[in-house]
């Protein structure tokens, strides 16, 4: 176990696993290389074992090189004979080692490291939230709940939990919001609530912020809020998967908004559910919409007889009807309605599928309505500007009483808790559209106060390339499925989803999965050096910084956290032919001309050419 601490014993990425070394260099050469100086350092090693009261070690204990050779050969044979499975002891060793290395205060955390949270708070009931009236069936281990936004899904999923909780969500903004919500709800009741995603270090604040940051990805915690990407290694057996499995064993795993992921990620999640069920986890799936075929696959894994399935009756779903849908040919046909909405002090949300479309439309809106408060938000902002815009969207635009216009991309679909009065949106896949619609007339109200709000859906483009990043066929089917100038009934959403997605494209991971058909495919102490599927999730992701941030030394001299705030996330495919310089610090970001970026418009990809570099700077 110790020799496998940081390495797989076989086919290690560095080729330094115990069995790798023997295979490449031979038993004699490998042993001689590692036994060098044995007569001196073995004395210190025995002293350490004696201090730890190791069985059979006394003050008179001595070891010869012959003893060492015998132990080496025993270790080789032991590793060869390992059965298929995963090593809990290796998971524990790596987990506590990383925790102890992270902070000197870890001893203080040990008594509560694996404490079960008291989630009794979420047994609260309210007539507006129908799921709060549904009793939890204690004899059912797992949960599958399908209900609209505002039905009380989060409370229901949390009150179903009996152990430590891993709450997964698809987007960083929604993860941040859930983390804050749980901390607020359980303040003074649950101490160790952790946040985990690629940018979570930027979110954690407070008196003990430094300590919280260094332990956030370590084992333990009563509740962790994270993305499924952080759990993907348990499906694919990559480095560290044993520690994750040790941490997850017997816990409650909430998979919220599971339908929003890509085909690859959905396939990884299905395999992950198999692993988690195998190690005794309780799985709780929550969704507003999901293709029936995907739902059946999940229930097949969980076991229907072990799963509390919750859906609202049609009569209850009718109380969630909030939107009248209009299908229109183009944006300009909606201008008269847009003007009327502005005059009536309505808050208007316009959603585009591509950043460039949103930027062009925002410029047009700015020309037409210069007097109206407005903002543009999409994925191609510096992270510090994106954080600012999200805060303004939720704290200012979401709450104003006069007319305003927000132009956005998919970033608003499920990540932000906002409620506007009217939407104009490009056609997206039906599941994404339903999520977008949820940003309009979002707040649940008593029956006598309920109103219907209008949504205008622009027809999909005629050319396939103009439909990207989506399939033209899916866009057209989604557009055709929507009602015209009439109420979108919540009770009809499942039928619309299945009409657009009669089949679900599940990718076969059987050749790459660490666990398949109820059995482990890897031996204990082995892990895979990499996974093509995990790499594919991030292979197209790169960062950019402005020329000013590069050449003035701002980025070079900044801390790691400050650098992240300066970076603009991009897809490599969007800039691969731009011949941009890369900066040899931090994440080695691409350097874009200053003229291509503004804090209120974001990155303009049409101005990224090297001919726009400021020659007064010299990129290092």
Task: Encode pLDDT of 49-96 as tens digits.
Answer: 889 888 888 878 888 888 889 989 999 999 999 999 999 999 999 988
Average pLDDT of the chain to the nearest whole number: 89
pLDDT at 10: 84
pLDDT at 347: 97
Count of CB atoms situated within 10 Å of the CB of 611: 7
pLDDT at 309: 97
CA distance 87 to 91: 6
For residue 373, which of 362, 357, 360, 384 has the smallest C-alpha distance?
Answer: 362
Q: Which residues of 153-182 are buried (b: 16+ CB within 10 A; e: fewer)?
A: bbbbbbbbbebbbbbbbbbbbbbbbbbeeb
Q: What is the pLDDT of residues 217-255, one digit of tens each?
A: 888 999 999 988 889 889 889 889 999 999 999 999 999
Most confident of 27-41, 125-139, 528-542: 125-139
pLDDT at 128: 92
Average pLDDT estimate for 351-378:
96
The backbone region for 240, taken as left when phi is positive above 0, alpha when psi lies in -120 to 50, beta otherwise, is left
pLDDT for 207 beyond 60: no
pLDDT for 334 beyond 80: yes
CA distance 249 to 232: 15
- What Cα–Cα distance (Å) separates residue 386 from each residue in 260, 380, 571? 21, 8, 17
Domain topology for 322-488: Rossmann fold (3.40.50)
Length of the chain: 620
Non-local CB neighbours of 424 within 8 Å, separated by 6+ positions? 331, 334, 338, 348, 349, 350, 351, 455, 456, 458
- What Cα–Cα distance (Å) separates residue 217 from each residue in 13, 15, 36, 224? 22, 27, 37, 9
For every residue of 519-578, DSSP letters joined together read EE-SBTT--BS--HHHHHHHTTEEEEEEHHHHHTSHHHHS-HHHHHHH-EEEEHHHHTTS
pLDDT for 619 beyond 70: no
What are the start-end ranges of the E strands in 298-382?
307-311, 323-328, 347-351, 373-377
pLDDT at 97: 86
pLDDT for 118 beyond 70: yes
pLDDT at 407: 97
pLDDT at 204: 53
pTM of the model: 0.89
Q: Which helix (H) or strand (E) holds 254?
A: strand 252-256
pLDDT for 324 beyond 80: yes
Residue 200's pLDDT band, with cuts at 50, 70 and 90, is very low
Helix axes 88-102, 241-248, angle to 10 degrees: 90
601 backbone dihedrals φ, ψ, rounded to 5°: -115, -20
pLDDT at 199: 55
pLDDT for 509 beyond 90: no
CATH code that applies to domain 92-316: 3.40.50.300
- What Cα–Cα distance (Å) separates residue 86 from each residue in 77, 120, 242, 529, 589? 18, 34, 6, 16, 38
Give the start-to-end residue ranges of the domains of the chain.
18-81, 92-316, 322-488, 540-612
CA distance 243 to 254: 19
pLDDT for 202 beyond 50: no
pLDDT for 468 beyond 60: yes
């Amino acid at each position: 176990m110790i020799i496998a601490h940081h390495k797989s014993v076989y086919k290690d990425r560095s080729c330094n696993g115990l069995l790798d070394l023997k295979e490449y260099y031979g038993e004699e050469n490998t042993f001689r290389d590692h036994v060098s100086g044995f007569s001196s350092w073995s004395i210190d090693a025995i002293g350490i074992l004696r201090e730890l009261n190791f069985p059979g070690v006394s003050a008179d204990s001595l070891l010869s090189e012959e003893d060492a050779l015998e132990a080496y050969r025993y270790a080789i044979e032991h590793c060869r004979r390992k059965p298929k499975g995963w090593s809990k002891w290796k998971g524990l060793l790596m987990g506590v080692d990383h925790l102890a290395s992270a902070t000197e205060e870890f001893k203080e955390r040990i008594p509560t490291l694996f404490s079960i949270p008291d989630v009794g708070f979420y047994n609260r009931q309210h007539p507006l939230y129908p799921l709060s009236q549904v009793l939890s069936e204690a004899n059912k281990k797992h949960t599958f709940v399908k209900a609209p936004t505002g039905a009380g899904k989060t409370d229901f999923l949390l009150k179903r939990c009996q152990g430590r909780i891993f709450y997964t969500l698809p987007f960083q903004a929604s993860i941040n919001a859930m983390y804050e919500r749980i901390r607020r709800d359980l303040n003074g009741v649950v101490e160790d609530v952790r946040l985990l995603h690629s940018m979570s270090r930027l979110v954690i604040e407070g008196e003990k912020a430094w300590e919280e940051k260094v332990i956030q990805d370590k084992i333990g915690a009563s509740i962790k809020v994270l993305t499924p990407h952080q759990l993907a290694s348990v499906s694919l057996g990559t480095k560290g998967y044993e520690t994750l499995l040790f941490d997850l064993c017997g816990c409650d795993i909430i998979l919220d908004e599971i339908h929003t992921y890509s085909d690859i990620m959905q396939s990884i999640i299905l395999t992950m559910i198999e692993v988690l069920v195998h190690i005794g986890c309780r799985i709780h799936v929550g969704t507003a919409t999901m293709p029936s075929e995907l739902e059946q696959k999940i229930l097949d894994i969980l076991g229907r007889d072990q799963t509390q399935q919750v859906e609202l009756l049609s009569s209850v779903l009718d109380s969630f009807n909030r939107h009248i849908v209009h299908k229109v040919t183009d944006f300009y046909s909606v201008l008269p309605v847009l003007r009327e909405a502005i005059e009536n002090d309505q808050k208007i949300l316009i959603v585009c599928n591509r950043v460039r479309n949103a930027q062009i439309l925002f410029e047009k809106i700015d020309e037409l309505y210069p007097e109206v408060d407005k903002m543009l938000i999409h994925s191609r902002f510096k992270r510090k500007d994106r954080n600012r815009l999200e805060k303004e969207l939720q704290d200012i635009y979401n709450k104003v009483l006069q007319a305003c216009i927000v132009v956005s991309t998919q970033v608003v679909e499920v990540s932000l808790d906002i409620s506007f009065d009217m939407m104009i949106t490009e056609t997206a896949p039906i599941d994404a559209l339903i999520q977008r619609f949820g940003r309009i007339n979002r707040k649940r109200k008593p029956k006598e106060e309920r109103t219907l709000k209008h949504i205008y859906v622009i027809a999909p483009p005629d050319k396939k390339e103009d439909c990207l990043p989506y399939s033209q066929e899916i866009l057209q089917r989604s557009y055709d499925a929507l009602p015209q100038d009439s109420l979108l009934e919540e009770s009809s959403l499942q039928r619309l989803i299945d009409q657009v997605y009669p089949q679900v494209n599940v990718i076969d991971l059987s050749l790459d999965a660490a666990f398949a058909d109820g059995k482990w495919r890897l031996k204990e102490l082995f892990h895979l050096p990499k996974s093509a599927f995990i790499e594919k999730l991030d292979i197209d992701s790169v960062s950019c910084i402005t020329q000013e941030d590069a050449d003035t030394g701002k980025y070079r001299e900044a801390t790691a956290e400050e650098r992240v705030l300066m970076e603009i996330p991009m897809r490599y495919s969007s800039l691969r032919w731009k011949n941009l310089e890369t900066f040899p610090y931090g994440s080695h970001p691409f350097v874009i001309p200053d003229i291509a970026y503004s804090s209120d418009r974001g990155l303009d990809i049409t101005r990224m050419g090297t001919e726009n570099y400021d020659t007064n700077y010299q990129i290092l």
